[in-house]
Amino acid sequence: MNTQIRALSELDRVIHEPGRLMIVALLSGLRECDYRYLVHETEMNKGTLSSHLARLEEAGYIEIEKTFRGKIPRTLLRLTNSGREAFAAYRKSLKRSL
Amino acid sequence: MEINNVVDTLREIEARPRRYENIDGTAEMSFGLMILSLTLMGYLGPIVEDHATWPSGLVGFWLLVLGTIAAYILTANVLTRLIKKHITYPRTGYVAYRPITKENRWRTLAFVIGLSAAAAGLASLAPMIQRNHESSALRAVMVLAFLGPYALLVLHVWKDYRWKRYLVLAYAAGLLAIAFLVPGNIEQLARPVMALSSSVWLGSGIATLVAYIRHTQAPIGEE
């Protein structure tokens, strides 16, 4: 029991928030994707999604790259190495707490 | 219980990017095109053999095989790129998948070797079964080999595309009808089976694309 509680307390708070957890889980299987894909998959509104992305970027878990496709702006997102490591550690802690 | 749910949900979310690959039906259409090219090869073989200018023997055979494969790769590649670029990405976003990493390289290799071994095993059974009579076992294997992948695909997406369940049933009925009604050896049987299979995969892919276009809207302006 103690081990489970300890494992729960070790969960990364940045990732543990449901919205951010969804974003990180989606990005974990990809090299990169654009902002529109995340809007489509998470079904969050753009404001909420942007604030979650800003929090993840601040923690160094994702990279945000602003580019253009022709004249249309495109926002590319990818998980950084430390983001991947943090997500792997999060999954491990979650399994330990079962 | 709660955490169990979180783990299950997490697994489901992680699987979503893989499902995205076929959200527009391009994976089904590519597979359908592959079977179609093999079907055409089956029909073209006897025709080109009779043609005086076509090289005879093994050279002619390999020319036909390579030509068909090249045509397939080109068509499938161009079609997929066009659909992704002009239809999928403007609607539901661009995605780049991760290349094969060190961790899953061995798993992929084991899968490919396993699949090749299974195919070789089945192929080695063919002459043995054919020698007996008109190969009822081989007919069953053929039905399963063609129906299996499509049924597996439908199993993964049936909640999103309920109509595909009926298509699986129709496909199974069609394959069984061919297996029971078409006389001849395995080569003669393969042609209608492959023609039906390519129609099913291509039709299913096109219907998926149409459903995708109907249910999504291309946004205009900035992200």
User: Could you report the per-residue pLDDT of B11-30, keeping only the tens digit for each?
Assistant: 889 888 988 989 999 999 99
Best residue of B88, B95, B220 to probe chain A, by most A CBs closer than 10 Å:
B95
Distance from the B31 Cα atom to the nearest Cα atom in chain A, whole angstroms: 23
pLDDT of residue B182: 80
Distance from the B16 Cα atom to the nearest Cα atom in chain A, whole angstroms: 7
Flag if A34 and B89 touch (Cβ within 8 Å): yes
- Across chain B, what does the average pLDDT equal? 82
| DSSP state letter for B221 | S
Distance from the B18 Cα atom to the nearest Cα atom in chain A, whole angstroms: 8
Nearest CB neighbour to B18, from listed A29, A33, A36: A29
- The domains of chain A are located at 2-96
Q: B172 near B122, Cβ under 8 Å?
A: no
Mean pLDDT of all residues in B41-45: 79
The total of other beta-carbon atoms located within 10 Å of residue B149's CB is: 12
How far is residue A56's CA from residue A83's CA, in Å, rounded to a whole number?
9
Residue B213 has pLDDT above 90, yes or no: yes
Q: Contacts of residue B89 in chain A, CB cutoff 8 Å? A: 34, 36
Flag if A98 and B3 touch (Cβ within 8 Å): yes
B96 touches chain A (CB under 8 A): yes
Flag if B3 and A97 touch (Cβ within 8 Å): yes
User: What is the DSSP code string of B30-91?
Assistant: HHHHHHHHHHHHHHHHHHHHH-TTSPPHHHHHHHHHHHHHHHHHHHHHHHHHHHIIIIIHHH
A59 touches chain B (CB under 8 A): no
How far is residue A58's CA from residue B138's CA, in Å, rounded to a whole number?
60
User: Considering the domain A2-96, what is its CATH architecture?
Assistant: Orthogonal Bundle (1.10)
Identify how many contiguous H helices and E strands chain B contains and give both numbers: 8, 1
Task: Compare B196 and B158 and report the one with higher pLDDT.
Answer: B196
Which H or E run contains A32? strand A30-34
Q: Which residues pair with A63 in a beta bridge?
A: A78
pTM greater than the 0.90 cutoff = no
pLDDT of residue B132: 47
Q: B91 near B218, Cβ under 8 Å?
A: yes
In this structure, of A4-18, B54-68, B82-96, the range with the lowest mean pLDDT score is: B54-68
Mean pLDDT of all residues in B17-46: 88
How far is residue A63's CA from residue A80's CA, in Å, rounded to a whole number?
6
- The structure tokens listed for A77 are 């997102």
Q: Contacts of residue A25 in chain B, CB cutoff 8 Å? A: 10, 13-14
Q: Contacts of residue B17 in chain A, CB cutoff 8 Å? A: 26, 29-30, 33
Q: A45 near A4, Cβ under 8 Å?
A: no
The total of other beta-carbon atoms located within 10 Å of residue B75's CB is: 16
- The domains of chain B are located at 2-97+133-215
pLDDT of residue A41: 93
Phi then psi dihedrals of residue B124, to 5 deg: -70, -25
